[in-house]
Amino acid sequence: MKVKSAVFPVAGFGTRLLPATKAIPKEMVTLIDKPLIQYGVEEALNGGIERIIFVTGRTKKSMEDHFDRDPNLEAALAEAGKEELLREVRKISDMCDVVYIRQKEPRGLGHAVLCAKDIVGRDPFAVILPDDIILSEKSVIGEMTKEFDKVKAPVISIMQVPLTDTHKYGIVKVEKQIDERLYKLGYMVEKPKTNPPSDLAIIGRYILTPEIMDELETTAAGAGNEIQLTDAIHAVAEKSGVYGYRFEGQRFDCGNKHGLIEATVHFALSRDDTRDAMMDLMSVLCRTR
């Protein structure tokens, strides 16, 4: 079946970006000229997704407003003759169908995904973590959807990380390699303290099947005393199989200051309208160091 919906778990506090996130949701922190959440939504839409499901918290109203119409702003832009900006603003609100659902208490990523159960129904669906921004020529979630169409089983994005960092991620064990980028996975563990099964980490892109929701309903609290999505995926892997897709592109953890700075540099260099300014700035900085 076609993957039509993408779930965005966006109810977290964003503590790694405090104090900025005391006043604004972390998903609304700006990367050059767009909030982080818009990059994820655009990736989803470019990958064929038709409906966006935000699992939010009580502090996320500004994010909801961002994807809504603003008649006063549109009228002001029209009156000022700023047609290009007006088209850009209207494009944001016209992007897609958006559904909002509240996660009433912070019980982990797995619980956030489970909150969307009644909306996604018995169809396959994507999950996108907006902290993970990927600079790629292709929509990663779109490429994963193509792999799902082949294997008819959950597909999760993976990337190689230093062994010293494996305690920060869900880590997978490879059962066999299917082709250059696709792997059949044996099992996975969330944030292993010792003896990680590999150096391949789960990154915030998933194509999941309804069986995940069934598992999440009975998954006990795991790492961090939270309901972990990785634990539910592991249970499905044991019963029917899960695949890992090693994506093309650069991933940036924009949930922390260092990742956000790194992403800003790389994205600025990738854009025609910001490349020269960034190159000039880097040249000045190199001369003054």
CA distances from 188 to 172, 199, 202, 256 (A): 4, 11, 9, 25
Quote the pLDDT of residue 189: 87
**Structure tokens belonging to residue 66:** 């961002």
* H or E segment and range at residue 174: strand 170-177
Report DSSP state, residue 224.
Answer: G
The pLDDT, as a whole number, for residue 222 is 66
Tokens of 144: 């994963």
Low-confidence ranges of the chain (pLDDT < 50): none
176 beta partners: 184
- Rounded CA separation 172/187 (Å): 6
Distance CA 129, CA 169 (A): 13
Rg (CA), the chain: 20
Q: For position 27, what pLDDT does the model report?
A: 93
Q: What is the pTM of this model?
A: 0.92
pLDDT for 69: 86
Structural tokens at position 235: 């249970």
**Cα 49 to Cα 42: distance, rounded to the nearest angstrom:** 9
